[in-house]
Amino acid sequence: MSVIRKESLACPSCQAVLDIEVLESINADRRPDLRQAIVEGRLQVENCSACKAQFRVAPSLNYIDAGRGQWISAQPLDQLGAWPQVEQTALRSFSKAYGAEAPAPARAIGAELVARVSFGWAGLREKIVAGEAGLDDRLLEFLKIAIIQAGASLSAGRELRLEAVEGSSLVMIWTDSRTEKQLETLAVPRSLYDDIAADRGAWAGVESLMGEGPFVDLQKIFVGGGAPGAQPEQAAA
């Protein structure tokens, strides 16, 4: 089931304290509308009742889509620097809900799930889009590294995200992590992804840098372990 909790949050524009319904967990099998709202970038977009400013409440939830084999601990972008701890917490919750510590029926569901950690809405959305397109998310990160090596510049606060798969193109967008503003769109031939998939062994070094944990994102390599995170996530009005 999907769980909602009420939270008192300050409007980022006028600081008015608002009572907001925040999702604690999402079951996409039962609530495909919530999954769709993530893909369309409108989940937890709020309007301040005092100043009318629009802002987005960062994700802090567990997402499950048993039909597509996805379990994701989606956390706020400002937790990115603490990813090693977030990974541990996520693995513990997965273990209790669907893993070794869960009852047999839940374990049976868990056996078909891949556990992941994501930060920010863009990170969660990308996992959903990649899963839908049948892309291996590790290979997708290798592809991003190949794009960066080919000359695109990586800088703090910018992330390269898979936006959509259109025919033989992977539409990838450089996004401002904090504001979610889209900075630059790339149409990447899917053949580049297929080449990487066919020569996975060549990426063994990167694969081991990324480790076995559930946070599968090249940010892991660039942020390092436990470095200070990015700014809190919040959409501009």
**In the set 11, 28, 86, 130, which binds Zn ion (CB under 5 A)?**
11
Q: Contact between 237 and Zn ion (CB under 5 A)?
A: no
Q: Contact between 20 and Zn ion (CB under 5 A)?
A: no
Q: Contact between 48 and Zn ion (CB under 5 A)?
A: yes
Q: Contact between 179 and Zn ion (CB under 5 A)?
A: no
Q: Contact between 14 and Zn ion (CB under 5 A)?
A: yes
Distances (CA, A) of 62 to 29, 67, 75, 124, 217: 13, 16, 9, 10, 18
> Given the rule CB under 5 A, which of 4-12, 76-84, 144-152, 226-234 is the region that contacts Zn ion?
4-12
> Given the rule CB under 5 A, which of 16-24, 117-125, 132-140, 197-205 is the region that contacts Zn ion?
16-24
Residue with tokens 């899963």: 131
Q: Give 46 or 217: the residue with its C-beta nearer to Zn ion.
A: 46
User: Shortest Cβ distance from residue 65 to Zn ion (Å)?
Assistant: 33
Residues 72/127, Cβ–Cβ less than 8 Å: yes
Tokens of 116: 């992941």
Tokens of 132: 């839908």
Q: Give 4 or 237: the residue with its C-beta nearer to Zn ion.
A: 237
Tokens of 16: 């008015």
Where in 49-68 is the site for Zn ion (CB under 5 A)? 50-51, 53
Q: Which residues of 116-139 are buried (b: 16+ CB within 10 A; e: fewer)?
A: bbbbbbbbbbbbbbbbeeebbbbb
**In the set 2, 13, 89, 179, which binds Zn ion (CB under 5 A)?**
13
- The residues, ordered by sequence, that sit 6+ positions from 212 with a Cβ below 8 Å of its Cβ are none
Q: Give 58 or 128: the residue with its C-beta nearer to Zn ion.
A: 58
> Residues in the site for Zn ion, rule: CB under 5 A?
11, 13-14, 16, 48, 50-51, 53
